[in-house]
Amino acid sequence: MDGEFLTKTVLFQGATPQEVEQMLSCLGAQRRVFPKGAYVYHAGEPVRALGVVLSGSVSIENDDFWGNKSILDRVEAGGVFAETYACIPGEPLMVSVVAAEPSQILFLEVERVLHTCPDACRYHTRLIENLLRISARKNLNLSRRIFHTSAKTIRGRLLSFLSYRAAQSQEEWFPIPFNRQQLADYLGVDRSALSNELSKMQREGLLQVEKNQFRLLAGPL
C-alpha cells in the first residue's frame, strides 16, 4: 500500500507512512480496481467496509423506480465513502457508488476502525476522530446540495451552485467537478433545459463558459 499517499488523506491525517502501514493490516485493508461505470456498491445492499479512493473518482448516485438518476456527490482521490452505512450494521444503502473513471479503492472494515486492536496502535484514536470529522463534512455537503436545489428555477439553482464554487475558488475562472449531464443530475434538472439556460445566461452577459471552466460576470458584456 502507498502509505505516503494515505498520510495526505483526511482519514489518515497526522499519521506517518510507517504508522499507516502498521494500521492497514489491523484494519483488514483490501485494495480493488474498478473500470469506469462499474458499481462499487449497489443501492439496497448492506456494507461493512468504508472505501478510500486511491486513484480516480466515484459518484454517489440515486436511481428512482423509473430510472431517473441523481448524482448526490463525487468522491475524488483521497476521499472516503460509505462510512455512515458501514457504521450501522445491516443498514441497506439508499444510494449506489459508481466508478466515474478507472479507479482504485481501498476498503477498510469499520468495526476494526471503531475498535482499537490489541496492539493499541498509537494513532488509532486520531483515526476515529478523523472519521467523525469526515462524517460531519459529508452532512455539510448534503445540506449544501439541498440549499443549491431549493430554488424553483434552473437559473436560480445554477446561480446558487456557481456562486458557491466561485467563492470557494477565489479565482476569476473556476472549475466545476461535473460535466453537463452530471451537473444536471446534481441540480435535479433536465440536461437540455440546463444547456439552454447556460446559453441564455451567456448571451445575457451573466457568465462565460469554457468546457467545465466558468467565469461569473457582473452584468452584460
**pLDDT of 188-219, one tens digit each?**
899 999 999 999 999 999 999 998 999 999 76
What is the C-alpha to C-alpha distance for residues 136 and 143, in angstroms, rounded to an integer? 11
Does pLDDT of 75 surpass 90? yes
**Greater model confidence, 188 or 41:** 41
Cβ atoms 85, 93 nearer than 8 A: yes
**Greater model confidence, 50 or 116:** 50
Q: Beta-carbon neighbour count of residue 195 at 10 Å? A: 14
Mean pLDDT of all residues in 86-93: 92
Closest C-alpha among 134, 135, 141, 218 to residue 186: 141
What are the structural domains of the chain? 3-148 (2.60.120.10), 154-216 (1.10.10.10)
Does pLDDT of 220 surpass 70? no
pLDDT of res. 119: 64
Mean pLDDT for all residues in the chain: 90
Q: Which residue has the cell 450494521?
A: 89
Mean pLDDT of all residues in 7-11: 92
What is the C-alpha to C-alpha distance for residues 211 and 159, in angstroms, rounded to an integer? 17
**pLDDT of 108-143, one tens digit each?**
999 888 887 766 567 888 889 999 999 998 888 889
Residue 18 pLDDT grade (very low, low, confident, very high; cuts 50, 70, 90): confident
Mean pLDDT of all residues in 94-116: 92
8, three cell numbers: 495526505
Q: Which residue has the cell 451552485?
A: 161
Q: Is the pTM of this model over 0.75?
A: no
Percent of the chain with pLDDT over 90: 67
What does residue 165 show for φ and ψ, rounded to 5 degrees?
A: -65, -40
